[in-house]
Amino acid sequence: MDSYDLIVLKTIAIAEYGEWEEEVYPPYANGPGYVISSDIAEYIVYEFDNQKLRLFKMEDVSMGMWVQKFDKTRQPVEYSHDVKFFQAGCFDGYYTAHY
């Protein structure tokens, strides 16, 4: 899985979405970028190909739901947060930035 595959996943999430009609908002991956393991990425592609993924209009919500589904149906997910995934502007040494 390379960066192109991750961009495709993000595009899928944005382009084909459903509105959220439930009472509780789903978990989401807040941030300008995500680093996921190949087993999670392969799971997402497989589930998408088999039309088993729920899609939302914002890719961070879709990613959060997909990883949560993996966590509940395949194996526990270890979440890690790093300050180098910054949320407010561009800074030297940061992996991603969001503006």
Prediction pTM value: 0.66
Query: Residue 46: which residues within 8 A CB-CB, separation 6 or more?
Result: none
**Quick one: pLDDT at residue 15?**
46
pLDDT in tens, 19-49: 667 777 777 776 667 788 999 999 999 999 9
Spatial distance between the Cα atoms of 32 and 28, rounded to a whole number of angstroms: 12
Of the ranges 6-10, 48-52, 54-58, 80-84, which one carries the lowest mean pLDDT score? 6-10
